[in-house]
Chain A
Amino acid sequence: MSLLQLLGSVIAVFIVAAIARWLFPVRFRLEDAHLHRELERVYPDLEPEEILIDRAGNAALLRLSGARGIVVVRRLGDKAVLRHWMPGTKVTATRTPTGLMLDTDDFTEPKIVLDLDAEGVSRTESWLALLAAPDGHAHAA
């Protein structure tokens, strides 16, 4: 393959992807019913106790019953990706002007940006604090 062929291929790649984007626009937001279905499929043993979906519908946190941690769901194109953060998982939360940015050392899951109001931020932070608690339960101060 010559350099010219390679250049032509790269241009063709971007054109084909642009056509795909045009023909199949993504109109997908995370919603409760969808989150339950995905959880049942990926982590059938886990039960959500509380669900928090961010304002953009791009990400959601599911606090699990039985102090089993959090499932984080992120929209990836027209699909969803789930991760189970068990108690003990190290999560770095950084406040942003529109909510929170969460980061772990998971190479396959880059930073998760949550569009949240002040109440959502504080709920998320309290859930994340549970991950750091030795038994995954909240303790009175």
Chain B
Amino acid sequence: MPLDLPNPTDLAVPGFIVLMLAEMIYGRMSGRAVYEGKDTLTSLLMGTGSVVAGLIPAGLGYGAAYYIWSEWRLFDLGHAWWVFVVAFVLDDLAYYWVHRFGHRMRWMWAAHVIHHSSQHYNLSTALRQTWTGKLTPGFIFALPLAFLGFEPAIIAFVSGINLIYQFWIHTEAIDRMPRWFEAVMNTPSHHRVHHATNPDYLDANYAGVFIIWDKMFGTFIPEDKANNPCRYGLVHDLGTFNPLRVAVHEWVGIVRDMWHAKGLKNKLMFLIGPPGWTPDGSRMTSDMIKEDWKRRQAVKEAAPANIAAE
């Protein structure tokens, strides 16, 4: 009999609304948070749609996790409080990798891009969630936890707590937290960098709760608010607030690209390659954007020296 645990995110919804209203009022008074009506509506409708999509039975992912847990688990970990704590930490490590792949593989980006599609960065952006996450192989990253012996209901519960934690870091209203906190935890400052489209900030700070994963795996970039303020959205921003278009635009792009691609390898690469990959390099991946930006910076820095030399 599976453990019956509540869905933490459902319980947190009233808190989300109160905090959004508080941020709006604070933003209006201080200028440190900005909302826009249609953008907010789209974000919140995406969030509501994501909850509805979550009601569809998880099928493959949850079923596979329960199968592995019931048939092949290494340890009988049970339901003690420390199991929840360890599950929370390991689930956050799994989240780091699922998130990193969510940016580096177009198949997973097709679902995750929705969360990055607002040009605003406020608490409503946190709720701009995907409707199509279950169409990606993201569930694979949770299977090792089931194999270790964590019951899938516990994994789902701690994942919900993880999502709740990530709500408050989607704000410009908080500058920096105390130094010890910034060193260990994901914070608004770290996550602003993750949402930024500035070339030198791309593909950084994938952490959910603990920023230590980025520091361990070499993807941490600190925010430099004074010299390089974050600019949010996508490299190619969406020209629409229509939730349906927001939800499926990257899937449409993948299908179109695969349809027109020549050869099986190219078709497959449009699915599992990085976003922006093309056989002829006519679009830019994030690596190419970063290289291009570095080249420009080098030219800019060399320019005054050249002038002086002349």
Residues of A within 8 A of B (CB): 1, 5-6, 9-10, 12-14, 16-24, 26, 41, 44, 74, 76-79, 81-83, 106-110
Contacts and interface: CB of A to CB of B under 8 A. Distances in A.
A109 B238 CA distance: 7
Nearest to B47: A13
Interface string B235-261: 011111110010001001100000000
B52 A6 contact: yes
Contacts of A77: 36-39, 119, 241
A141 to B, nearest CB: 33
17 contacts: A5-B10, A9-B48, A13-B45, A13-B47, A17-B40, A17-B41, A20-B37, A21-B40, A23-B27, A24-B28, A24-B35, A41-B231, A77-B36, A82-B237, A107-B253, A110-B239, A110-B240
Contacts of B233: 79
A112 to B, nearest CB: 8
B249 A108 contact: yes
Contacts of B20: 16
B37 A18 contact: yes
A17 B21 contact: no
Given A1-B51, A41-B231, A23 B28 contact: yes
Given A108-B236, A108-B245, A20 B10 contact: no
Interface of B: 7, 10, 13, 17, 20-21, 24-25, 27-28, 34-41, 44-45, 47-48, 51-52, 55, 119-120, 124, 231, 233, 236-242, 245, 249, 252-253, 296
Contacts of B245: 107-108, 110
A9 B238 CA distance: 25
Contacts of A108: 236, 238-240, 245, 249
Contacts of A41: 231
Nearest to B54: A1
Given A19-B24, A44-B296, A110-B242, A26 B253 contact: no
A107 B35 contact: no
A74 B41 contact: no
A132 B132 CA distance: 38
Contact of B119 (A6, A44, A79): A79
A74 B294 CA distance: 29
Nearest to B237: A81
B239 A23 contact: no
Contacts of B48: 6, 9-10, 13
